[in-house]
Amino acid sequence: MSLPISAIVMLIIGVVVLYGGLAYFIYRAIRSKKE
């Protein structure tokens, strides 16, 4: 059995918003510390 397309879409949304967002804010924190 494989994951339904709708589940894959939700997986992508979760990963992009949560981990992408986290990576983005960590990047901003590191950048502003360097400055």
Partner 1 sequence: MAAIGSAVGLGNVWRFPYVCYKNGGGAFLIPYLIALFTAGIPLMILEFSLGHWSRSPPPLAFKKVNKKLEWVGWLSSLTPFVVASYYVVVMAWCFAYMVYSINLLWEPDAESFFFRFLGKTSGISEIGGISIPVLLGLIAIWLSIFIILYKGVDRIGKVVAITVPLPTALLIILTVRGLTLPGAIEGVSYYLTPDFSKLLNVNVWLSAYAQVFFSLSLAQGILITYASYLRRDSDISNNAFITSLADAGTSFLAGFTVFSVVGYLAYVKNVDINHLGIAGPHLTFITYPTAISLLPFASAIFGMMFYIALLTFGIDSAFSMIEPMASSLNRKWRISKFKATAIICLVGFMASLFFTTGSGIYWLDIVDHFIANFGLVTVGLLECVTLGYLYKVSFFREHANKTSDIRIGRWWDLLIRYVVPAILVMLLILSIVENLKKPYMGYPVYALIIAGALPIVFIVIASFVLQRVKR
Interacting residues with partner 1 (CB under 8 A): 1-4, 6-7, 9-11, 13-15, 17-19, 21-22, 25-26, 28-29, 32
Query: Please, are residues 13 and 21 in contact by the beta-carbon 8 Å criterion?
Result: no
Report the alpha-carbon distance of residue 31 to residue 26 in Å, rounded: 9
The rounded Cα 8 to chain-centroid distance in angstroms is 14
Least Å from the CB of residue 22 to partner 1: 4
**In the complex, least distance from residue 17 CB atom to partner 1, rounded to whole angstroms:** 6
